Chain A
């Protein structure tokens, strides 16, 4: 197991390193001089030079990259120009809100998607399979921004029972906080739950055809027992992988859902940074997003290796 982890780690670190160079390059590729943008339209050349020096933009590129990277690794993310606050504080605040949203969505997706997938994979009546399958396909196809708009129309405009947008801390007031959380969490959970349901259903059907399950049928075990003790455990490994990959995608999905519901999370912060040309903030947030994805993917691979000896013994490919 440890050997597998050690083999998997270098490529994850390499991906992160290359991504950090790319993200750093974003700022240099962008047309226009960030110092000119930051100094404002009427700034004198002297002011622009001053801003450039204060940002460290006058040193050579490799030196700038090194300063940025060592800063990030030691927890010094710099200061946001448009918001005038330390970026670490901004990310910390946004991350709390985004985590609240994604964790709620993940719980809903696992519960709903798991139930739907189990029904879809084991139901014998065609009517049940058709109904659940149709619902899953629909949840998969409707993009979160469309779901978001529809949910607001139904639950905030037509039947005004939930707030249309905004955020209230769950810790300060659990009831009000949950009211604000419900629509965005459902919106983010639907596609994830649908993917989960599909994979679980396929894995269940495949597992039910395995020889050991047929043996169970042959010796007269009740189907309920077979499903719970033999079919489900056999079906879980691929579902774990999908869950890991989907969790990595949630941050991207959060950008859209946070925009629909004006949820003050990392997605909103990132959009604000891009539209306000706050290059350092963009750089830090993009690296953060990529790092989250890579870490989750590596963890998923490790869990997979733990569940399936073939993976950890297999070749490097």
Chain B
């Protein structure tokens, strides 16, 4: 028994250490880390507050303002850096929250067939509200704002993680280590959460990377159409929304946030692709 466990442990360790060897994963991780670091170190990288207005509006790039200024003379570089902060903060809190709720519900599907049927329908209903439709719904309840974005990102992740956890539990049911635990007299909840859950983590990690990319995407979309983060708070989507109205006068205004959003989404996507190859060998 212990020998089997030891071998399993080794196999796991080997695949995990190989997970980031795929070049896609390394490039993705580097891109994400670079942009995250820029957001975290925002106060060190720029002397301006993202909210302080200045006398010169809609400047192009100049030495004092490397990316220019917005319509109120605020420094665009600081607004973008603080925007990254807000986007990643929402992503890093809402994705784990929604994911955790989904995983618990998904694993609970394994408790009883009747519970499985009910929870499956719950996931179906949640999935019928596609990302932006859920965003609009929550903006109608909570009013446009960062809270609406947060709950939208959390909400879309519940059925995604729920389905993955449910399917993974079903396919692990008959594996030897589960049968061994049953033979040792472990109860159903103990088997689900203690034995099976640790073994389906890889699939959840891949989904988490994808979900972080979706979170940035959704924040951008909601703020861009005016139901997300509202002025004067800087977020990538909010900057893009105002930047898009000054395309004639100051094209650089919109290009900065576009580049960062695309960088973050590509970064997380590459990371998910690489992890998928490394961990799941699909």
Contact = CB atoms under 8 A, between A and B. Distances in A.
Interface of A: 11, 14-15, 18-19, 22-23, 26, 29-31, 137-138, 140-146, 148-150, 152-153, 156-157, 164, 248-249, 251-253, 255-256, 259-260, 267, 270-271, 274-275, 279, 282, 286, 289-290, 293-294, 297
A259 B133 contact: no
5 contacts: A145-B224, A252-B131, A275-B226, A279-B140, A293-B128
A248 B131 CA distance: 11
Interface stretch (B46-54, B201-209, B244-252): B244-252
Contact of A256 (B128, B224, B262): B224
A279 to B, nearest CB: 8
Contacts of B221: 143-145, 255-256
A146 B125 contact: no
Contact of A290 (B129, B254, B255): B129
Contacts of A149: 240, 243-244, 247, 254, 258
Contact of A11 (B124, B225, B251, B258): B124
B interface secondary structure, majority: helix
Given A146-B240, A153-B247, A271-B227, A286 B121 contact: no
Given A145-B224, A255-B225, A271-B136, A140 B125 contact: no
A14 B269 contact: no
A305 to B, nearest CB: 17
Contact of A274 (B124, B130, B227, B248): B227
Closest 5 CB pairs of A and B: A252-B132, A252-B130, A259-B225, A141-B266, A145-B224
A251 to B, nearest CB: 8
Given A29-B141, A145-B237, A259-B224, A248 B125 contact: no
A141 B141 CA distance: 30
A260 B140 CA distance: 21
Contact of B140 (A26, A153, A255, A256): A26
Contacts of B255: 153
Interface of B: 121, 124-125, 128-133, 136-137, 139-141, 143-144, 213, 217, 220-221, 224-227, 237, 240, 243-244, 247-248, 251, 254-255, 258, 261-262, 265-266, 269
Contacts of A148: 244
A270 B269 CA distance: 30
B61 to A, nearest CB: 16
A153 B240 CA distance: 13
A19 B129 contact: yes
A145 to B, nearest CB: 4
Given A143-B221, A149-B258, A256 B141 contact: no
A293 B130 contact: yes
Given A11-B124, A252-B130, 4 more contacts: A18-B121, A274-B136, A275-B144, A282-B136
Nearest to B216: A143
Nearest to B269: A141
A256 B225 contact: yes
A137 B268 CA distance: 12
Nearest to A23: B137
B176 to A, nearest CB: 24
A269 to B, nearest CB: 11
